[in-house]
Amino acid sequence: MSLDAQIKRLLPGWLKEPAPDGDIVFSSRVRLARNLNHLSFPYHAGEIQLEEVIDQVGAALKSAGHFKNYTLHRLDEMTQHDRMVLVEKYLVSLDLLKNPAHRGVVLNQDETVSIMLNEEDHLRIQGIYPGLQLNKAWESAEQIDRLLEAKLDFAFDEERGYLTTCPTNVGTGLRASVLVHLPALKMVGQVKKVLAVLPSIGLNVRGAYGEGTDSAGDLYQISNQVTLGLSEEEIVGKIVSVTKQVIDQERAAREALLANDSRLQLEDRVNRAYGLLTHSRLISSEETIKLLSDVLMGAALNLIPKADGQVVKELFFLIRPAILQKLIGRELTPGERDHYRAAMVREHLGMNRK
């Protein structure tokens, strides 16, 4: 298989679609937590019950015609390397990998839907799309939820809603999130001020991989705190509304940086970043992410004629350790990763699609 074909295969399927507000919003994701009635939740379930979850979900998939393009993957039949590829593509969580025995994930063909099995809950149904398409992600996850609920007996209480392992997920069981790129707000010293308001209105702000992760590459995840007492539509609508305000503030910050003397400084910054990425022979993951953040903003503002924003976004994934080693075809030492990462960036940035 050629390198180009390998790249196309390993890039997240959801990343390949055209994206509204894609200059600022990387992705929109909705996750529904569900558990099967009369079975212990995963943290207390034994091997037999965990296998029962996988068996029941597998049977439900086979009996519903809608799922003909879905595949169930058992984690204990995959290498740790392949499991990490799924994490780096935002298709499963790190928590799911802690104990791969009796755990799995169901994926559709274009990777816009994933269903984690026996993570914190028996099922975690996820819809993910590029750009600001949270309503589309919700509709996708809700459709799968409805189809599975017709085949499976979910744990549900008339007063409390869907029952989940963590009390903060009880109710709708819905977590909606957007991953936003906010380099200009950071450059003008406003990003902390803008994001600090969100917890007071019931929203969380985390790093790119969720709780406990940092905001590498100026990427921030905005999600709901509350799942009980609000409808799914209200939760999704609130995050969409707030995200649009954050988008407006980031665009205003970018316009401010383009004005007067600061424009030359901005042009110098993003073009220096592009020059380093296109000429480096050794480069760390941390430095690459920082430089890609600047180049992505430069591409969005048409300050780097040769830079294609979609190609830059793809590099945020292609340079990650598991995906990079999968492309090379073997495990790499840290030094080798720095070498191949630099080569990957140089080659991929040359794929100008404008």
Question: What tokens appear for 61 in the block?
Answer: 């998939």
Count CB neighbours of 120 within 10 A: 18
Distances (CA, A) of 166 to 96, 163, 339: 15, 9, 43
* pTM across the whole model: 0.91
Write the CA distances from 256 to 24, 164, 201, 251, integer angstroms: 16, 46, 27, 9
pLDDT bin (cut points 50, 70, 90) of residue 221 is very high
Helix axes 309-318, 285-300, angle to 10 degrees: 160
Of residues 333 and 10, more confidently modeled: 333
pLDDT tens digits, 167-207: 888 899 999 999 999 999 999 999 999 999 999 999 999 87
The predicted structure's pLDDT at residue 316: 94
**Which residues 6+ apart lie within 8 Å of 75 measured at CB?**
83, 96, 97, 100, 101, 103, 104, 105
Residue 213 has pLDDT above 60, yes or no: no
Distance, CA of 112 to CA of 134 (rounded, Å): 12
Whether 354 shows a pLDDT value over 60: the answer reads no
For the segment 249-256, the average pLDDT, to the nearest whole number, is 96
Whether the predicted pLDDT of 152 surpasses 60? yes
Q: Which of 326, 275, 237 is nearest to 10 (CA)?
A: 326
| pLDDT band, very low/low/confident/very high, at 16 (cuts 50, 70, 90) | confident
What pLDDT does 251 receive? 97
Q: Tell me which of 9-13, 195-199, 264-268, 273-277 is least confident.
A: 9-13
Question: Is the pLDDT assigned to residue 209 strictly greater than 60?
Answer: no
What pLDDT shows up at residue 215?
A: 66
Task: Tell whether the model's pLDDT for residue 1 goes beyond 60.
Answer: no
pLDDT higher than 80, residue 208: no
Beta bridge partners of 181: 219
106 and 56 Cβ atoms separated by less than 8 Å: no
Task: Compute the average pLDDT of residues 117-136.
Answer: 97
Provide the angle, in degrees to the nearest 10, between the axes of the packed helices 285-300 and 334-349.
Answer: 20
Positive or negative CA dihedral for 348, 87, 113, 221?
negative
> What CA–CA distance (Å, rounded) separates 212 from 215?
10
pLDDT value of residue 150 = 94
* pLDDT (mean) for 2-11: 79
Question: How far is residue 338 from each of residues 53, 83, 114, 248, 345, measured CA to CA in Å?
Answer: 41, 22, 31, 36, 11
Neighbour-count burial of 327, counting CB atoms closer than 10 A to its CB (0-12 exposed, 13-18 middle, 19+ buried): middle
Cβ contacts of 328 within 8 Å, gap of 6 or more:
340
pLDDT exceeds cutoff 90 at 144:
yes
Instruction: Look at residue 3 in the predicted model and tell me its pLDDT.
Output: 67
pLDDT in tens, 293-321: 999 999 999 999 889 999 999 999 999 99
* Predicted confidence (pLDDT) at residue 214 exceeds the cutoff of 80: no
**Residue 212 is encoded by which pair of tokens?**
């406990």
pLDDT at 18: 75
Residue 223 C-alpha from the chain's centroid: 12
